[in-house]
């Protein structure tokens, strides 16, 4: 983003004084107003240091003797001589090898390549074409969200040291990849301690990074390590079983195999320089040979084990609440006491946890903040420039956040938000909380009366305020058309969002769905919060798989998914200590236990009620638009039941039993009830 001469001059002056001229002024709306413009000017303007000094492959020895490798980026002069001043330090832990971060930083901060890349990205305009999704990826590059994944040299030149560390068992670090578990979490705390004791560190520490590195921040902050004073997690997960491993009890086949392959492949890339200079780390090689395919055994067991008695111990551990991975993968965000800004999205891989973690952090709004966009996991910060009603760029927000909490600069970022939301179907908005205040919980009932809006569906039903009086069954069979859906795009981190005909219009997938559609909305109303679909079901087998989506149906018939969820029928048991209930006793935000111990097989032919929790959402339903619930019996590639449960289901047809005494309904948080 280019700034005018006046703003640029102001940025230079602001680096020479401790307090900006308008410190404490409240930002206005999602853009941050004039305060947000000053954040951008400060980040994009001249910096105190002209260069960056890089120390490659610095060894950090852990308490068990394992050596991790780090790249250290320090503020320097034009000759790349590092400053002698002690600086605040920002730590990123990555499994994707710091080599990738270094290469990304080299391109994104190159004086020639960066402007050329931004120019190309800005020139891409494919709206209205079958590959419109490429525009979103181009916006991510144009709006520099990728700098929060790599290393932002402007941040370093502003007076921060950055330390990028390969987590145990990945990159050039020794050890066996521990995948977010206790030993890896202990490593992070030890790395922070090591950093705080280095001659170039002033002991004030922050953490940054995207996805895996964001999860690592949450896990570190909940341990309250000495010196850690702020974190900036971009797209962090929390309860990883429910987020990506087994959402609703279904294996996340669209993401897990590709992700495990990515990390297990890149961790085998050797340090070529050490091979050439005779310093090759033979322990690194021995550790890689010891466990070359981390978590593949569990993945194969989930896909291939034929029945429950044959489930191996390594898979059973993921299906027990008291196991090491299940316990280690919980966020414990209620223990976080350092300022935290969480950036996520309604179609991110970790939407399930991002809002929950924000609400659980016991800090006052401002010291904790939440930004939820409408992108996917790969489209980090796309469409954010601080203009046209959008939030400031992510790299700008990151700089402002660390300036406030690591340098004590009262720049007003703690008065931003505290909740900044892209309202689906509308613009960005600012709120005091999420779900937003003023919502009314309302049931809408699923019935078989045709709405005459979805002739393409398996059955076109209605969504009404009044309880239907009809009886009978609505039948749906497993299908594969959800490969062309927003859920498919979400589970593949946005890769399939290249095709908006699938990601932004559910009418193809609805050929495999039961649809239930309301009358047109006479006035606009918002949906804000989690949604629950309660179904009275009948199966012809001992197990089945249910998926539901909440859609906004436009007057031209386009059906856009705004939220979705799924549950394997036998894993429907709720954790009542975590599940949220409405004033009338309705389940409004179900949390399934997802354990073998609480598994409940269905009795074929017998009605069974279950709740399908949809991801939290924020949307505006405009006048003339309709609400729709889609119900599917399969959800590839978002999920696939574990092989034993899939075998029990036999992929047989599934039924919704219509019964006035046991109705099926959706419970919605609405700003204006449907009449």
Write down which residue in 431, 451, 477 finishes a domain: 431
| Strand order, beta sheet including 340-345 | 51-61, 67-76, 161-166, 87-94, 201-210, 228-234, 340-345, 368-373, 419-422, 428-431
Question: How many CB atoms lie under 10 A from the CB of residue 294?
Answer: 18
pLDDT of 14 above 90: no
Same domain, 535 and 390: no
pLDDT for res 108: 81
pLDDT of 15 above 50: no
Q: How does 150-161 read in b/e, with b if 16+ C-beta sit within 10 Å?
A: bbbbbbbbbbbb
Spatial distance between the Cα atoms of 613 and 22, rounded to a whole number of angstroms: 45
Residue 48 lies in a domain: no
Give me 350's structure tokens: 């970790």
Instruction: Work out the percent of the chain whose per-residue pLDDT is above 70.
Output: 96
pLDDT of 2 above 70: no
Its domain, for residue 362, covers: 53-126+133-294+330-431
pLDDT for res 21: 33
pLDDT of 7 above 50: no
* pLDDT tens readout for residues 106-148: 888 888 888 878 788 778 877 777 777 787 777 887 888 888 8
* pLDDT tens readout for residues 140-174: 878 888 888 889 999 999 999 999 999 999 999 99
Strand partners, 620: 526
DSSP class of 449: S
Spatial distance between the Cα atoms of 652 and 196, rounded to a whole number of angstroms: 59
pLDDT for res 167: 98
Same domain, 248 and 386: yes
Closest CA to 99 of 169, 180, 166: 166
pLDDT category of residue 603 using cuts at 50, 70 and 90: very high
Give me 26's structure tokens: 């409240």
Q: 513 near 631, Cβ under 8 Å?
A: yes
* pLDDT tens readout for residues 317-368: 999 999 999 999 999 999 999 999 999 999 999 999 999 999 999 999 999 9
Classify strands 161-166 and 67-76 as parallel, antiparallel or unpaired: antiparallel
pLDDT category of residue 218 using cuts at 50, 70 and 90: very high
Classify strands 640-641 and 87-94 as parallel, antiparallel or unpaired: unpaired
Across the chain, mean pLDDT equals 93
Between the alpha carbon of residue 82 and those of residues 50, 73, 200, 396, 492, the distances in Å are 10, 9, 9, 24, 41
Same domain, 281 and 384: yes
Same domain, 358 and 426: yes
Write down which residue in 382, 402, 431 finishes a domain: 431
Q: 651 near 419, Cβ under 8 Å?
A: no
pLDDT of 89 above 60: yes
pLDDT for res 26: 61
Spatial distance between the Cα atoms of 175 and 224, rounded to a whole number of angstroms: 25
Angle at 661 between CA 659 and CA 653, to 5 degrees: 30
Write down which residue in 371, 399, 431 finishes a domain: 431
Residue 197 lies in a domain: yes
Instruction: Work out the percent of the chain whose per-residue pLDDT is above 90.
Output: 86
pLDDT for res 87: 98
The number of folded domains in the chain is 2
Same domain, 506 and 381: no
pLDDT category of residue 434 using cuts at 50, 70 and 90: very high
- Mean pLDDT for 223-243 is 97
Same domain, 397 and 470: no
pLDDT of 669 above 60: yes
Spatial distance between the Cα atoms of 410 and 415, rounded to a whole number of angstroms: 10
Residue 68 lies in a domain: yes
pLDDT of 17 above 90: no
Classify strands 419-422 and 368-373 as parallel, antiparallel or unpaired: parallel
pLDDT of 568 above 60: yes
Same domain, 169 and 255: yes
* pLDDT tens readout for residues 495-549: 888 888 899 999 999 999 999 999 999 999 999 999 999 999 999 999 999 999 9
* Sign of the dihedral defined by the CA atoms of residues 197, 200, 205, 211, in that order: negative
Task: List phi, psi (to 5°) of 461.
Answer: -110, -175
Spatial distance between the Cα atoms of 325 and 385, rounded to a whole number of angstroms: 39
Q: 566 near 548, Cβ under 8 Å?
A: yes
pLDDT for res 8: 36
pLDDT for res 320: 96
Residue 469 lies in a domain: yes
Same domain, 112 and 217: yes
Residue 251 lies in a domain: yes
Same domain, 101 and 239: yes
Lowest mean pLDDT among 2-11, 67-76, 383-392: 2-11
pLDDT category of residue 35 using cuts at 50, 70 and 90: very high
The CATH number of whichever domain residue 263 belongs to comes to 3.40.50.1820
- Mean pLDDT for 651-666 is 98
Strand partners, 497: none
Same domain, 510 and 387: no
Beta strand segments in 77-187, E: 87-94, 161-166
Q: 499 near 518, Cβ under 8 Å?
A: no
pLDDT for res 25: 53
Angle at 616 between CA 371 and CA 380, to 5 degrees: 40
Cα atoms found within 13 Å of the Cα of residue 587, Cβ hemisphere only: 24
pLDDT of 12 above 80: no
Residue 625 lies in a domain: yes
Residue 121 lies in a domain: yes
Give me 439's structure tokens: 């919502």
Same domain, 278 and 242: yes
pLDDT for res 497: 87
pLDDT of 663 above 90: yes
Spatial distance between the Cα atoms of 438 and 528, rounded to a whole number of angstroms: 9
Residue 542 lies in a domain: yes
DSSP class of 213: H
Spatial neighbors of 114 by CB under 8 A, at least 6 apart, are 107, 108
Same domain, 504 and 552: yes
pTM above 0.85, yes or no: yes
- Mean pLDDT for 425-437 is 97
């Amino acid at each position: 983003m280019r700034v005018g001469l006046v703003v640029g001059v102001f940025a230079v002056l602001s680096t020479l004084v401790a307090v900006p001229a308008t410190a404490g002024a409240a930002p206005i709306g999602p853009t941050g107003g004039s305060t947000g413009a000053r954040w951008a000017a400060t980040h994009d303007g001249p910096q105190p240091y002209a260069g960056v000094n890089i120390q490659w492959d610095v060894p950090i020895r852990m308490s068990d003797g394992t050596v991790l490798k780090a790249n250290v980026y320090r503020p320097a002069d034009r000759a790349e001589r590092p400053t002698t001043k002690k600086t605040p330090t920002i730590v990123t832990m990555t499994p994707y090898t710091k080599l990738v971060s270094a290469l990304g930083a080299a391109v994104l901060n190159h004086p020639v390549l960066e402007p050329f890349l931004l120019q190309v990205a800005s020139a891409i305009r494919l709206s209205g074409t079958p590959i419109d999704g490429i525009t979103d990826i181009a916006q991510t590059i144009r709006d520099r969200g990728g700098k929060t994944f790599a290393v932002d040299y402007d941040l370093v030149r502003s007076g921060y040291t950055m330390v990028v560390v390969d987590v145990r068992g990945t990159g050039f670090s020794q050890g066996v990849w521990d995948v977010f578990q206790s030993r890896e979490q202990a490593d992070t705390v030890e790395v922070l301690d090591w950093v705080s004791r280095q001659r170039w560190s002033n002991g004030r520490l922050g953490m940054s990074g995207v996805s895996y590195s964001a999860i690592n921040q949450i896990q570190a902050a909940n341990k309250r390590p000495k010196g850690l004073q702020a974190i900036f997690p971009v797209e962090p997960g929390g309860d990883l079983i429910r987020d990506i491993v087994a959402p609703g009890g279904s294996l996340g086949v669209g993401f897990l195999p590709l992700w495990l392959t990515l990390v297990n492949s890149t961790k085998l890339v050797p340090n070529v320089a050490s091979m050439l200079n005779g310093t090759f780390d033979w322990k690194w090689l021995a550790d890689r040979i010891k466990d070359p395919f981390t978590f593949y055994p569990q993945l194969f067991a989930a896909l291939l084990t034929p029945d429950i008695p044959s489930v191996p111990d390594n898979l059973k551990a993921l299906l027990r609440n008291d196991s090491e991975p299940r316990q280690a993968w919980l966020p414990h965000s209620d223990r976080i006491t350092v300022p935290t800004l969480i950036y996520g999205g309604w179609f991110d891989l970790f939407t399930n946890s991002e809002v929950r973690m924000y609400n659980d952090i016991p800090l006052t709004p401002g010291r904790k903040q939440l930004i939820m966009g409408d992108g996917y996991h790969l489209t980090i910060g796309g469409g954010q420039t601080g203009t046209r009603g959008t939030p400031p760029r992510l790299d700008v927000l990151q700089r402002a956040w660390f300036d406030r909490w690591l340098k004590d600069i009262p720049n007003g970022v703690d008065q931003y938000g505290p909740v900044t939301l892209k309202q689906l179907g509308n613009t960005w908005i600012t709120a005091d909380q999420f779900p937003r205040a003023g919502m009314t919980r309302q049931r809408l009932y699923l019935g078989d009366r045709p709405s005459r809006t979805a002739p393409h569906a398996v059955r076109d039903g209605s969504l009404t305020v009044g309880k239907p009086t009809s009886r009978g069954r609505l039948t749906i069979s497993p299908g594969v058309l959800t490969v062309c859906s927003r859920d498919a795009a979400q589970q593949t981190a946005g890769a399939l969002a290249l095709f908006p005909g699938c990601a932004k219009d559910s009418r193809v997938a609805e050929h495999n769905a039961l649809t239930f559609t309301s009358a047109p909305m006479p006035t606009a109303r918002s949906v804000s919060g989690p949604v629950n679909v309660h179904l009275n079901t009948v199966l012809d087998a001992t197990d089945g798989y249910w998926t539901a989506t909440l859609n906004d149906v436009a007057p031209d018939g386009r059906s856009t998914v705004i939220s979705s969820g799924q549950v394997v029928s036998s894993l429907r048991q709720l954790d009542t200590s975590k599940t949220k209930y409405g004033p009338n006793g309705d389940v409004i935000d179900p949390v399934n236990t997802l354990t073998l111990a609480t598994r409940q097989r269905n009795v074929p032919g017998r009605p069974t009620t279950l709740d399908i929790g949809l991801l939290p959402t924020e949307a505006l339903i405009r006048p003339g638009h309709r609400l729709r619930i889609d119900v599917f019996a399969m959800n590839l590639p978002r999920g696939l039941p574990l092989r034993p449960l899939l075998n029990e289901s036999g992929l047989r047809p599934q039924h919704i039993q219509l019964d006035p005494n046991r109705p099926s309904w959706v419970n919605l948080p609405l700003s204006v009830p449907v009449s």
